């Protein structure tokens, strides 16, 4: 089985959970036939982590297709995100410690002007709670241990940033971004720009390059064909 599968990841699952579940399904399929799968037959990976709270498109790779992972990681992505103003989170999402910051209510024009500031090539500092490796270890693992994590800022590209809805304290945006862009950081930077504080309360990846979440299947149906 050397193939690419588009999965619509549910909230609460890590990307590794999805990989492990599909690997288990493959193993079970061989076992029911009285066969022992080879290491190659159990080779499962993915092309781009989604945070546990996020939903949407996860590209899962089987067998030799895993060799394409690094190539796919560089592809552009599209997200729909809900940003909550007035509060911050230690992780930039609902899973962190939430702190009230401000009750200032920016008007729609202020929100639109803030969004304009983040279009194009920008400098962005990746979050401490991320899968980036720092001295050989994942940053989020160090952060969970209470260690200070300092990841240098990097240049990322935001091709499109569209306001879909705004009803304080929530604003919903669609973002078409280049590789390496963190939407959680974008949410926090929006909060700084507006002087309110903010975090990403909901996140859904709707596309990776030409692949759309509309063509994705549930984890349970990953091997149905």
| pLDDT of 143 above 70 | no
A 10 A CB-CB count for 24 gives: 12
Q: If you write DSSP's letter for every residue of 122-182 in order, what string do you get?
A: EEE---SSSS-EETTEEHHHHHHTT-------EEEEEEEEEEEEEETTEEEEEEEE-TT--
Distance CA 93, CA 140 (A): 13
| pLDDT of 13 above 90 | yes
pLDDT at site 108 = 98
- Both 29 and 88 in one domain: the answer is no
- Both 98 and 191 in one domain: the answer is yes
Higher pLDDT among residues 7 and 48, named by residue: 7
What single-letter DSSP state applies at residue 217? B
pLDDT range class, residue 35, cuts 50, 70, 90: very high
| pLDDT of 151 above 90 | no
Nearest CA among 25, 35, 61 for reference residue 46: 61
| Residue 197's CATH number | 3.30.2350.10
pLDDT range class, residue 144, cuts 50, 70, 90: confident
- Both 56 and 87 in one domain: the answer is no
| pLDDT of 145 above 80 | no
pLDDT by residue (tens digit) across 170-212? Answer: 999 999 999 999 999 999 999 999 999 999 999 999 999 999 9
Distance CA 67, CA 2 (A): 10
- Both 44 and 89 in one domain: the answer is no
Mean pLDDT, the chain, whole residue set: 92
**Which residues form the domain of 106?**
77-208
- Both 66 and 96 in one domain: the answer is no
- Both 100 and 52 in one domain: the answer is no
| pLDDT of 43 above 90 | yes
| pLDDT of 164 above 80 | yes
Average pLDDT over residues 156-165: 98
- Note the pTM of the prediction, 2 decimals: 0.91
- Both 215 and 201 in one domain: the answer is no
- Both 63 and 91 in one domain: the answer is no
Average pLDDT over residues 140-164: 83
- Both 94 and 50 in one domain: the answer is no
- Both 48 and 87 in one domain: the answer is no
Would you name the residues annotated as active-site residues? 51
pLDDT at site 131 = 67
- Both 21 and 99 in one domain: the answer is no
Structure tokens at 186: 């974008």
pLDDT by residue (tens digit) across 90-139? Answer: 999 999 999 999 999 999 999 999 999 999 999 998 877 666 776 667 76
- Both 141 and 127 in one domain: the answer is yes
How many domains does the chain divide into?
2
| pLDDT of 55 above 70 | yes
């Amino acid at each position: 089985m050397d193939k690419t599968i588009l999965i619509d990841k549910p909230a609460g699952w890590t990307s590794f959970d999805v990989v492990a579940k599909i690997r288990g399904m493959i193993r079970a399929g061989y076992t029911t036939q009285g066969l022992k799968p080879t290491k190659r037959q159990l080779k499962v990976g993915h092309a781009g982590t989604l945070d546990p709270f996020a939903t949407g498109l996860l590209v899962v790779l089987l067998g030799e297709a895993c060799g394409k992972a690094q190539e796919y990681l560089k592809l552009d992505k599209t997200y729909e995100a809900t940003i909550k103003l007035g509060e911050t989170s230690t992780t930039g999402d609902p899973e962190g410690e939430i702190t009230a910051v401000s009750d200032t209510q920016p008007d729609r024009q202020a929100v639109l002007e803030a969004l304009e500031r983040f279009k194009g090539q920008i400098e962005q500092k990746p979050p401490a709670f991320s899968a980036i490796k720092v001295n050989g270890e994942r940053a989020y693992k160090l952060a969970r241990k209470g260690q200070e994590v300092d990841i240098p800022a990097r240049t990322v590209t935001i091709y499109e940033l569209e306001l879909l809805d705004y009803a304080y304290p929530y604003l919903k945006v669609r973002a078409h971004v280049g590789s390496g862009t963190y939407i959680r950081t974008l949410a926090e930077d929006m909060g700084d720009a507006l002087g309110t504080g903010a975090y990403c309360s909901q996140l859904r990846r709707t596309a990776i390059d030409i692949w759309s979440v509309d063509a994705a299947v549930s984890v349970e149906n990953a091997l149905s064909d």
